[in-house]
Chains A and B, each alone.
Chain A
């Protein structure tokens, strides 16, 4: 049942945008004109609708109780706390790689936290904006250990499983051309079916972002049977997406990420945030936690928004450690800028 639901949805959702743009015209017509649209719409509805993946361990996946968990999910929860100060007021909509943009364009979701790569084309021609980069990634390959492959250059002639409608698909053909490697693609839309095709041996290799590979690998009963090759063939700056034209909401999402980074920088954690909000005397911390400034109000939320958020999700480092470290992912470029090799940097809160 779920499969049919998923596939039908996947097929129809692209069409749904066309229909939405056509049929639900009055509602759509107002959307871009409004200055305070998305945030007010979320408040009026009483919940945030967050577009996530259909299931990727570490990023967004329902646990055995059906509760969504992961890196992206924590960002959704943080945003819900910022708006409502209530972590339960968020609904998750799983989106495939192919339908994610139309889901956001048509207003089916308010925001995508769905490991999406920031590219120029996507920034300019989709009517969407990428407010921040919350994960620096790159594309790699996973093969079975039994294949005895140690480098991507040995993949000549291989059959490679890849998801359609991704930058991955285009990177793969770019890389194959420059490395003079011939390959046969197998493109299946749903991630699970794609991974299944790799596991049964239909493909010799599976390619996606390294974080996705680590997540897939860790979900297997014998993770050690699979090797992630050292070659990284692309830059994949991943981030949330919002609709173009609603700068206020984009600002909130952007500064939500910066807030989580800044909190890590000043070592404010879920455990100590409540105390720090009253006792910490560092001016930067006092501004971040809304004691001496009205930064929250400027973003259209409560001044103590970061306190509420940090209490629930913890800072960027805590979110990373909780969700991604168990997959075997290192901080790498996602460490703070104060660490060598780290790229995560937040402008000042003032």
Chain B
């Protein structure tokens, strides 16, 4: 928006007048009250902090963050980075943060897909599909999440033990120890291939931007996907082959008490993920439904009357308008998934709350422990909010 379009009436300001140091001056009163309120808040905070410090000192309760460097000694079942009980508390807490992110990110991804499908299903013209989706939403939304988590965890515990594990396909085991899948022994070439896939994705995006600019110039649509497919899939495969194509399968097998090898999805993680995804997708479904219904039917008809294909109508006409309605409440749901993941404590998944709780219990430093938990959730939530706000402003309709 340029200045020229601004209504000139808005640019007028009241004439300045000298401030009188008197109670009758509106601005003096306003400043007085603001200073007073801020002063009281600062004083309360200062008093709370100093009082807490004094009391902790008097009672000889240890304070400070020195404990982070001490040996943790706590065993952690699932860790994305190397961890052993001889590492310090800081590393244990980082493991906890990564575990929280692991469940939150995968959960957000799956809940979005699953919730969108159900939301669309609820609008289906097929009576049965629409009703089933409706019942799903009503039931799932109305049950407490903690109850659902315990339900899933109890079901998973009811699976047979490792020695009687279900073995539907060779190398795949399902037991009360979790789901075991064959995997490969990870090597440098695989990391390189993964990196190549990311580079391929970025190149595809740049290519599509270029083609789009060309289309804007001459009106001819161009196909992006053949080259895109080549970049995203072909590039990593070529990289992997070039580096000697290492491939050593890592198939799980029962040894003694437990399985060795393979990739494990623990019952705790699985129960938490399934619980969060099913619960949140019920809410997301309603948001998506509301978004689609907010686009008037006339928009569809008008687009069809222009002779656009149904896919193009959805992508270019309906979605941009629906997303305007969908994105802001979706942000809240993403934040909910992240925060609700702290219920992991009840079913023994070692997320940041679980590990920080243990830490504050071992060290006795409750205030520091709670502060760490709050800082972690605040950082994650603010990151999600910032990203979603950026996305929201990007898809906002450009009004002229």
Neighbour of A245 across the interface among B58, B73, B257, B361, CB < 8 A = B58
Given the contacts A98-B358, A183-B75, A188-B347, A29 and B366 also touching, CB distance less than 8 Å: no
- State whether the Cβ of A243 lies closer than 8 Å to any Cβ in chain B: yes
Query: Can you name the residue of chain A whose Cβ is closest to the Cβ of B177?
Result: A159
In chain B, positions 356-370 with a C-beta closer than 8 Å to chain A are 357-358, 360-367, 369-370
State in angstroms the CA–CA spacing of A347 and B364 once bound together. 31
- State whether the Cβ of B29 lies closer than 8 Å to any Cβ in chain A: no
Contact A164 B86 (CB under 8 A): no
State in angstroms the CA–CA spacing of A32 and B59 once bound together. 6
Mask for B164-192, Cβ within 8 A of A = 1, else 0?
Answer: 00000000000011000000000000000
State in angstroms the CA–CA spacing of A24 and B93 once bound together. 30
In chain A, positions 132-176 with a C-beta closer than 8 Å to chain B are 155-159, 162, 164-165, 169-170, 172-174, 176
Mask for A1-40, Cβ within 8 A of B = 1, else 0?
Answer: 0011001001100110110011101001101110000000
Neighbour of A157 across the interface among B150, B260, B268, B367, CB < 8 A = B260
Mask for B135-155, Cβ within 8 A of A = 1, else 0?
Answer: 000000000101000100000
Contact B348 A186 (CB under 8 A): yes
- State whether the Cβ of A341 lies closer than 8 Å to any Cβ in chain B: no
Contact A25 B360 (CB under 8 A): no
Instruction: Collect the chain A residues with CB atoms within 8 Å of residue B48's CB.
Output: 22-23, 25
State in angstroms the CA–CA spacing of A30 and B144 once bound together. 41
In chain B, positions 302-338 with a C-beta closer than 8 Å to chain A are none
Given the contacts A29-B51, A158-B257, A184-B258, A18 and B366 also touching, CB distance less than 8 Å: yes
Q: Quote the shortest CB–CB distance from B20 to chain A (angstroms).
A: 42
In chain A, positions 187-201 with a C-beta closer than 8 Å to chain B are 187-190, 193, 196-197, 200-201
Contact B51 A14 (CB under 8 A): no
Neighbour of B346 across the interface among A14, A32, A189, CB < 8 A = A189
State in angstroms the CA–CA spacing of A243 and B158 once bound together. 43
Contact B364 A101 (CB under 8 A): yes
Contact A202 B366 (CB under 8 A): no
Query: Can you name the residue of chain B whose Cβ is closest to the Cβ of A170?
Result: B73
State in angstroms the CA–CA spacing of A121 and B48 once bound together. 27
Query: Can you name the residue of chain A whose Cβ is closest to the Cβ of B267?
Result: A202
Instruction: Collect the chain A residues with CB atoms within 8 Å of residue B75's CB.
Output: 162, 169, 172-173, 176, 183, 185, 187
- State whether the Cβ of A97 lies closer than 8 Å to any Cβ in chain B: yes
In chain B, positions 6-65 with a C-beta closer than 8 Å to chain A are 47-48, 51-52, 54-56, 58-62
Which of A122-130, A297-305, A316-324 touches B? A122-130
Count of A-B residue pairs with CB < 8 Å: 161
Interface size range of chain A in the complex: 35 or more
Contact A127 B370 (CB under 8 A): no
Q: Quote the shortest CB–CB distance from B88 to chain A (angstroms).
A: 13
Q: Quote the shortest CB–CB distance from A130 to chain B (angstroms).
A: 13
State in angstroms the CA–CA spacing of A309 and B88 once bound together. 47
Contact A127 B77 (CB under 8 A): no
Instruction: Collect the chain B residues with CB atoms within 8 Å of residue A165's CB.
Output: 357-358, 361-362
State in angstroms the CA–CA spacing of A121 and B72 once bound together. 13
Interface size range of chain B in the complex: 35 or more
- State whether the Cβ of B244 lies closer than 8 Å to any Cβ in chain A: no
- State whether the Cβ of A244 lies closer than 8 Å to any Cβ in chain B: yes
- State whether the Cβ of A102 lies closer than 8 Å to any Cβ in chain B: yes
Query: Can you name the residue of chain B whose Cβ is closest to the Cβ of A126?
Result: B364
Q: Quote the shortest CB–CB distance from B349 to chain A (angstroms).
A: 9
Instruction: Collect the chain B residues with CB atoms within 8 Å of residue A187's CB.
Output: 75, 77, 348, 350, 354, 358
Neighbour of A7 across the interface among B146, B158, B357, CB < 8 A = B146
Neighbour of B86 across the interface among A97, A98, A177, CB < 8 A = A177
Instruction: Collect the chain A residues with CB atoms within 8 Å of residue B354's CB.
Output: 164, 187, 189
Instruction: Collect the chain B residues with CB atoms within 8 Å of residue A204's CB.
Output: 257-258
- State whether the Cβ of B290 lies closer than 8 Å to any Cβ in chain A: no
State in angstroms the CA–CA spacing of A193 and B360 once bound together. 21
Instruction: Collect the chain B residues with CB atoms within 8 Å of residue A32's CB.
Output: 55, 58-59
- State whether the Cβ of B161 lies closer than 8 Å to any Cβ in chain A: yes
- State whether the Cβ of B76 lies closer than 8 Å to any Cβ in chain A: yes
- State whether the Cβ of A85 lies closer than 8 Å to any Cβ in chain B: no
State in angstroms the CA–CA spacing of A29 and B362 once bound together. 25
State in angstroms the CA–CA spacing of A187 and B85 once bound together. 14
State in angstroms the CA–CA spacing of A4 and B144 once bound together. 10
Given the contacts A32-B59, A186-B268, A245-B60, A169 and B74 also touching, CB distance less than 8 Å: yes
Instruction: Collect the chain B residues with CB atoms within 8 Å of residue A127's CB.
Output: 56, 59-61, 364
Of all A-B residue pairs in the complex, the 4 with the closest CB atoms, nearest first, are A165-B361, A173-B85, A188-B348, A125-B62
Q: Would you mind naming 22 contact pairs between A and B with Cβ atoms under 8 Å apart? A: A14-B370, A21-B52, A25-B48, A28-B55, A29-B55, A32-B59, A98-B357, A98-B358, A101-B364, A105-B366, A156-B256, A157-B255, A157-B260, A158-B256, A159-B177, A164-B354, A186-B77, A187-B348, A196-B157, A202-B267, A244-B60, A245-B60
| Residues of B that sit less than 8 Å from A by CB | 47-48, 51-52, 54-56, 58-62, 73-77, 85-86, 144, 146, 150, 157-158, 161, 176-177, 255-258, 260, 267-268, 345-348, 350, 354, 357-358, 360-367, 369-370
- Supply 10 further A-B pairs (C-beta < 8 A) apart from A127-B364, A201-B161: A4-B144, A21-B52, A121-B364, A124-B62, A127-B61, A157-B255, A164-B358, A165-B362, A170-B362, A189-B345
